Amino acid sequence: MKKLALLLLLAICYMPVFAQQNETDAVKKTITTMFDAMRKGDSTLLNSAFHKDMVLQGVAKKKDGNSYLYSEKASEFLKAVGTPHKEVWDERITWGNIKIDGELASVWTPYKFYLDGNFSHCGVNFFQLLKTVGGWKIIYIIDTRRKDNCPE
């Protein structure tokens, strides 16, 4: 009886750890779906990872060195991915910090972007995701882009 009680206590203690890992895996799957869709040029698959009100932004530098923020419509990005193009868009990420609180997740992913296997640029993506009835959906992406000093 003591062994059963101990096993039950251990199971209860580790349940949150397993639940958190399942959520982390689900968040990663949504982001992976986005990059798979980009490689395939599949806007339908890409759209399945996005929330209907998703926001895309980026941070860049002007020639004078000043930083600026730009916005892109999700519909334009979907169209660009789905429009036939000969190059494969291959964004290779490194999983960074993943934080989840209930229905909100944030993910930091350094990346390198390749066109047909040739290095194009690098930077960091920062994702915000919302847990919906249909699973985790990307609600916000902001990234940096540069050609040197790439994150490892």
Which of 29 and 5 is assigned the larger pLDDT? Answer: 29
Residue 43 maps to a domain: yes
Least confident of 12-21, 110-119, 129-138: 12-21
Residue 113: CATH number of its domain: 3.10.450.50
Whether the Cβ atoms of residue 123 and residue 146 lie closer than 8 Å to each other: yes
Give pLDDT tens digits for 11-41.
Answer: 555 545 445 689 999 999 999 999 999 999 9
Whole-prediction pTM? 0.84
Full residue range of the structural domain in which residue 116 is found: 25-144
* Number of domains comprising the chain: 1
Q: Beta strand 118-132 with 135-144: parallel, antiparallel or unpaired?
A: antiparallel
Whether 12 is covered by a domain: the verdict is no
pLDDT, tens only, 54-63: 999 999 999 9
**Residue 99 near residue 90 (C-beta atoms within 8 A):** no
123-133 CB burial, b ≥16 within 10 A, e <16: bbbbbbbbbee
Please state, in angstroms and as integers, the Cα–Cα distance from residue 143 to each residue in 1, 6, 140, following that order: 55, 47, 10
Residue 112, burial from CB neighbour count under 10 angstroms (0-12, 13-18, 19+): middle
- What is the residue whose two structure tokens read 């397993």? 18
For residue 7, being part of any structural domain is answered with no
